[in-house]
Amino acid sequence: MPAPTPPVDELHRRVLDWFDEHRRALPWRDDPEPWRVMVSEFMLQQTPVVRVLPVFEAWLERWPTPAALAAASSGDAVRAWGRLGYPRRALRLHAAAVAIVERHDGRVPDSYDELLLLPGVGDYTAAAIASFAHGRRAVVLDTNVRRVFARVVEGVQYPAAGVTRAERDVAASLLPDDEATAARWAAATMELGAVVCTARAPRCEACPVSDLCRWRAEGHPEHDGPPRRGQAWHGTDRQCRGRLMAIVRDAHGPVAPELMVAAWSDATQRERCLDSLLDDGLLDLDSEGRFILPG
């Protein structure tokens, strides 16, 4: 017989009390100005906090407002993105800054619906900005939150590969009614998943709701869904694209095609990745056919 659903009020009290005592000091959390929160959310997609911190600080020093970034070139944004990976995020953040200037007088909007209309902003990012920057009541479902709810409420080791309607309904049912409390709950459950209820080595002994957790009560059953895929890197197009981008990003001027050979020896893969970088708008060609960052 499955363990009963944990009492919601008790979950709220324990998780929020734990968060108040153990929350990490993070620059976008300590100063949750909307643009700072937005930049952090773009940078934190598939990138750990430790790698984001130095780039975040340099970015905000250079472009402290959406208007400042919008006035720069998209190539400058890609160059400043450095080695965070997934550089299309830099293009999307630049496009979002332009849209904020054009549509919202340079201020990051505070409603989920308006945020969702910005370039590069999906469901999670819109909800996160509305909650963390503006204190709105929103269902914030990142990987960490989903894992906490899967274990504590559903009794399974990992959530489904993609967000399901049932999962969203569970998250909505757990969301406190008060806006400010709901925003704290979103941050607290994310923090719990990031530092305690981790994917590979959960620290159940440090969890404030371990005795309420269905997964723990049922003996930590192993994941029985589709195999979870690790992120391959070596030899992939993603690695190839990263090396090609680094050549152009670090250059002091246009890069001749023959100089790209040193970055990646497989000619077929190299040409395919160069074509994809051009298609994605991450690279451009000058009048002499040399590679440059977009203007």
User: Rounded to whole angstroms, how far apart are CA atoms 142 and 159?
Assistant: 11
User: Rounded to whole angstroms, how far apart are CA atoms 239 and 65?
Assistant: 32
Number of domains the chain is built from? 2
For residue 277, the enclosing domain spans: 237-292
User: Rounded to whole angstroms, how far apart are CA atoms 89 and 122?
Assistant: 12
In this structure, the number of other CB atoms found within 10 A of the CB of residue 184 comes to: 21
Residue 40 falls inside a structural domain: yes
Residue 262 falls inside a structural domain: yes
Largest CA distance in the chain: 71
Residue 246 falls inside a structural domain: yes
Catalytic residue, from 41, 57, 222, 271: name it.
Answer: 41
Q: How confident is the model at residue 3 (pLDDT cuts 50, 70, 90)?
A: very low
- Phi and psi (nearest 5°) for 116? -65, -20
Q: Which two tokens stand for residue 60?
A: 């905000």
In this structure, the number of other CB atoms found within 10 A of the CB of residue 67 comes to: 16
Q: Which of 107, 132, 157 is the last residue of a domain?
A: 132
CATH number reported for the structural domain that contains residue 92 in this entry: 1.10.340.30
Q: What is the mean pLDDT of residues 97-118?
A: 97
Residue 178: predicted pLDDT:
96
Q: How confident is the model at residue 137 (pLDDT cuts 50, 70, 90)?
A: very high
Residue 172 falls inside a structural domain: no
- Phi and psi (nearest 5°) for 198? -75, 165
Residue 2: predicted pLDDT:
46
Residue 276 falls inside a structural domain: yes
Residue 189 falls inside a structural domain: no
Residue 138: predicted pLDDT:
96
Q: How confident is the model at residue 151 (pLDDT cuts 50, 70, 90)?
A: very high
Residue 71 falls inside a structural domain: yes
In this structure, the number of other CB atoms found within 10 A of the CB of residue 29 comes to: 15
Residue 192 and residue 144 in contact, taking contact as beta carbons nearer than 8 Å: yes
CATH number reported for the structural domain that contains residue 260 in this entry: 1.10.10
Residue 258 and residue 247 in contact, taking contact as beta carbons nearer than 8 Å: no
Report the mean per-residue pLDDT for the chain: 92
Decide which of 190 and 251 is more confident.
190
Q: Which two tokens stand for residue 78?
A: 């890609």
Residue 176 falls inside a structural domain: no
Percent of the chain exceeding pLDDT 70 equals 95
Annotated active-site residue 41? The verdict is yes
Q: Which of 104, 132, 160 is the last residue of a domain?
A: 132
Q: Which residues on adjacent β-strands are paired with residue 255?
A: 291
Q: Which of 132, 156, 175 is the last residue of a domain?
A: 132
Decide which of 200 and 20 is more confident.
20
